[in-house]
Amino acid sequence: EDQVTQSPEALRLQEGESSSLNCSYTVSGLRGLFWYRQDPGKGPEFLFTLYSAGEEKEKERLKATLTKKESFLHITAPKPEDSATYLCAVQAYSNDYKLSFGAGTTVTVRA
């Protein structure tokens, strides 16, 4: 069974204070690892897909990296509008494009 563990559960940052979120996964045959952002009361918003170890993707202040056992989401010089819950999900070749989600990391950025 696919397992996704995200840490920390919650992260409080000062504006401009860079940090990283961790997503550890166990999956039989990784098709892709996904990062989403979810604001309260909204559906998840797609951020990145990573397919193979060593791959990196960037979008504004966010950068996602992937190893064979975990992924990191780096937030550089965060702003209050980066406050959200960040969800990590994995998709296995054996699982018909289904996503298995972690519990998420809730990031709060104070001005």
Partner 1 sequence: GAVVSQHPSWVICKSGTSVKIECRSLDFQATTMFWYRQFPKQSLMLMATSNEGSKATYEQGVEKDKFLINHASLTLSTLTVTSAHPEDSSFYICSASLWEGTDTQYFGPGTRLTVL
Binding site for partner 1 (CB under 8 A): 31-32, 34, 36, 41-46, 49, 87, 91, 96-104
DSSP 52: S
CA distance linking residue 92 with residue 29, whole number of Å: 5
| Shortest distance in whole angstroms from residue 16 CB to partner 1 | 28
In the bound state with partner 1, the residue whose beta carbon lies nearer, of 76 and 100, is: 100
| Shortest distance in whole angstroms from residue 49 CB to partner 1 | 6
| Shortest distance in whole angstroms from residue 4 CB to partner 1 | 9
DSSP 1: -
CA distance linking residue 102 with residue 86, whole number of Å: 9
